Chain A
Amino acid sequence: MNKSRFIFAIAAALVAGGLLAASLRLPLWHMRMEAPQYHDQEALKVVVTPGSLRGDINEIKVLNKYIGVTVPDTLPQTQWLPFALGITAILGVVIAFLPGRSRCIAALSLAAALCAAILVAAGQAQFQMYRIGHDRNRHAALTGVADFTPPLLGNRKLAQFELESRLGLGSFAIASAVALYAAMGLTARKWKAATGRVTNEAFVAPAPHISDYAI
């Protein structure tokens, strides 16, 4: 039992770590901007990965000048999110080696911390969206465009553009990692509850020898 529990934990940690590593290259979030002259294939796209802001940023900047919007070159999230994801991935593997109860607490905390990190990133993004549409140059060329907040998720019509924002594969990869860390923690607890054993080995016994876990 001990062994299968550990195997699950290490497998979950490795898969979650892999997902987080993959998410560094995957889009967390897409925005698509369609207008009559930016139609179909020519719709403008923004892609945010944990470490980058990509897409038709130049063209979006050029267009936004007319309504006094300053489009940022980079996002603050991209400064810290890759590190947060990397550290989480490493911690996940370390936690897998912890004994039962510690592993439970640590894994659940890790899941919670990862959730919090994502929420902070999303919060930063929402604030940025608000700022983009409200903190505008009042001397901009075009009049008649009211302050706005581009949608973090969903569709909205802004000036000539129909905006569509949605989560990317990276977000789902991170969500899956959260679920795996939670499962890692919860399975540790369930095992304890099911066996009814006080996990002396976990608290009292010296750390198991690596040969115990030989897979």
Chain B
Amino acid sequence: MKKLLSLTSLVAAALTLAGCYSDSDAKKEKTAAQNVSDAQRVYVAPGKLDDYYAILSGGQSGSVFVYGIPSCRLIKEVPIFEARAGLGYANNPSSESYNRLHDSGPMWGDTHHPVLSQTGGRYDGRWLWINDKANGRVAKIDLRTFETVAIKRVTNIQGAHGLAAYLPNCKYLFVNGELEHDLDDSTDASKYHSVIAFVDSDTLETKFEVLLTGNADIASSGKDGRYVFSTMYNTENAVTSEGMIERDQDAVAAIDVPLAEKAIADGKFTKVKGVPVIKPEDVPGVLTLIPVPKNPHGCNVTPDGKYVLASGKLSPTVTIIDAHTLKVIAEPEVGLGPLHTTFDGRGNAYTSLFIDSQIVKWNIEKAIKGEADYIVDRVDVHYNVGHTKAAGADTSYPSGDWLISLNKLSKGMYLPVGPAMPESQELIDISGAKMHVVAAFPSLPEPHDAVFIPRQTLADKVAQTYEVAPTATKLGEEKIVRNGNKLDVYMTCIRSKFVPEQFETHPGDQVTIHLTNVETVRDMTHGFALTDHGINIAVDPGQTQVVTFTAGDKGTYWYYCTWFCSALHLEMRGRMLVKAPDQVLSDSINPAAEGKSTPAGSYE
């Protein structure tokens, strides 16, 4: 009996010990195993390609960032509204990119909402459009080259905030004027209005506008070509933050686009600064204001086109509106600070909760039916999430695999680099019933929104080299053309040589370099930096770039290749010889061959 008792206590002790082990260490092991599993999900081996391009707006960086998903690797920044000297973008007065940006307004912008072109409810991989909130502009990026190809000022708009393409054909972009002002330019606040502008998605010309009282915020298009939607705050038309939250309700604006087009055709508009502006009171039905709790923010149409979801921001609710009858049908509570909602294509909505620092997953139909268990899951994000976007959520066919949480604060998530902390994004796996944060990655300031393009969508579209323009300078046909105090240098570059390797000017002459990269292989970009003149251009294979500048004081100025290209990269340079005004200049492209004193540059 005694023996049995001692045996029993021994077993009990062993079990207790085992229990201790499983409580602490097993949990650690589980976490470690989860980390390994997460790491594997985002690991993309060197040389392998990601499944998605995630295009994040750059906010005050004036650009967009292209990340690979799931690896979260930054692949490219596409400069749009701000010069990037390193990329030769808009930094050289007179260059094409400089002129385009300069002609449209300030040399800085604030990008918020990237929009992809669609055909048949799917991304077609042609265009990316984006707004400049600060200066009322929109830009178009060609996805064959990932380069900005057009920038236009939207007439009568201050603060171009929400941006969306009118579906299903993307004929227009509609641009939300957020910051109210008098369209006739007075400072009389009683005359303040804003507009929603319809812009030709190809030319970016403003075609017509609908006048609003209050501020249009976030935009989303119905799927069937009838209505487009915008959340509106400050229907009070106040000019102080207190005034903007006075009323209990603001609105979702629904614009009947075919009716607006008919009104334009029928002449029911007033022209303001050359653009037809429709006053809603003149065209009944063109604008419907659907009441929602005050100061809503996100506006998102579900992939099936049935509902518009207005995220409450100050109210813990999301308002579900029927996208055809324009009636509010439900207002489920989701958490504190709901800002934006995105979709997985399986009937679930994912709403970012700014104040709760969470993404909440909830079932739309259950919420409409008033079923108690409409909240499916919640996951913590770090911290204060703004936009959130699931892959393909703007299309009719979301992928339902990945979701990105664009967090406003990072607070110690990364190595400390001073008080200015990086922005942070988190990648969340939404393929299962429960969400799971798989990775976090920092970025420059400040992504507001994101879109995902599947790799296959662009597989055959993205160019590897430029097609050489018929007017481009060919190898062996380089020349220097002088016309008074203007000098045009038609230059080529190929590893590891500029031709010509020298040209001559007088101080103050206007020099234009037409530089063609005659490389035929991909990734062989060359740069052209000119010392002490602030000039740097980048020329991709097949591309021609033009830059004009004024030659400095007399002396020798070297130009050199800024993109490391070859074993003779450092030797890839030439001279601008600025000679005294009384000296005669040579326009030979190869003085060495003509027996002059210049040492031969060629090793052939």
Instruction: Point out residues on A near B: beta carbons under 8 Å.
Output: 42, 56, 58-59, 62, 65-66, 68, 70, 137, 139-142
Which of A59, A66, A70, A142 is the one whose CB lies under 8 Å from B521? A59
Contact B604 A58 (CB under 8 A): no
Min CB–CB distance A71 → chain B (angstroms): 11
Chain B residue numbers with a CB within 8 Å of A70 are 604
Chain B residue numbers with a CB within 8 Å of A140 are 603
Docked complex Cα distance between A42 and B495 (Å) = 18
Chain A residue numbers with a CB within 8 Å of B568 are 66, 141
What 4 pairs between A and B have smallest CB-CB spacing?
Answer: A62-B495, A59-B521, A58-B520, A141-B568
Q: Name the interface size band of chain B.
A: 10 to 19
Chain A residue numbers with a CB within 8 Å of B571 are 141
Q: In this complex, what residue of B is CB-closest to A65?
A: B604
Chain B residue numbers with a CB within 8 Å of A68 are 603
Chain A residue numbers with a CB within 8 Å of B495 are 62, 65
Docked complex Cα distance between A141 and B603 (Å) = 7
Q: In this complex, what residue of A is CB-closest to B518?
A: A58
Chain B residue numbers with a CB within 8 Å of A59 are 520-521
Min CB–CB distance A37 → chain B (angstroms): 9
**B494 located at the interface, meaning its Cβ lies under 8 Å from any Cβ of chain A in the complex:** yes
Which has the most chain B C-beta neighbours within 10 Å: A56, A62, A140? A62
Which has the most chain B C-beta neighbours within 10 Å: A66, A68, A137? A66
The secondary structure that dominates the B interface is loop
**B567 located at the interface, meaning its Cβ lies under 8 Å from any Cβ of chain A in the complex:** yes
Docked complex Cα distance between A59 and B521 (Å) = 7
Chain A residue numbers with a CB within 8 Å of B520 are 58-59
Docked complex Cα distance between A137 and B520 (Å) = 24
Contact B567 A139 (CB under 8 A): no
Min CB–CB distance B41 → chain A (angstroms): 27
* B 556-570 binary contact with A (CB < 8 Å = 1; else 0): 000000000011100
* B 539-572 binary contact with A (CB < 8 Å = 1; else 0): 0000000000000000000000000001110010
Docked complex Cα distance between A107 and B494 (Å) = 52
Contacting A at CB under 8 A, from B486-542, are 494-495, 519-521
Min CB–CB distance B231 → chain A (angstroms): 48
Contact B567 A142 (CB under 8 A): yes
Docked complex Cα distance between A139 and B604 (Å) = 8
What are 7 A-B contacts with C-beta separation under 8 Å?
A59-B521, A65-B495, A137-B603, A137-B604, A139-B603, A141-B571, A141-B603
Docked complex Cα distance between A139 and B567 (Å) = 15
Known: A59-B521, A66-B566, A68-B603. 18 other contacts (CB 8 A): A42-B521, A56-B521, A59-B520, A62-B519, A65-B495, A65-B603, A65-B604, A66-B567, A66-B568, A70-B604, A137-B604, A139-B603, A140-B603, A141-B567, A141-B568, A141-B571, A141-B603, A142-B567
Docked complex Cα distance between A140 and B495 (Å) = 14
Min CB–CB distance B466 → chain A (angstroms): 16
Chain B residue numbers with a CB within 8 Å of A62 are 494-495, 519
Docked complex Cα distance between A110 and B488 (Å) = 61
Min CB–CB distance A100 → chain B (angstroms): 57
Min CB–CB distance B149 → chain A (angstroms): 28
Docked complex Cα distance between A115 and B567 (Å) = 44
Which has the most chain A C-beta neighbours within 10 Å: B520, B571, B603? B603
Chain B residue numbers with a CB within 8 Å of A66 are 566-568
Min CB–CB distance B434 → chain A (angstroms): 40
Contacting A at CB under 8 A, from B560-604, are 566-568, 571, 603-604
* B 400-417 binary contact with A (CB < 8 Å = 1; else 0): 000000000000000000
Min CB–CB distance A132 → chain B (angstroms): 15
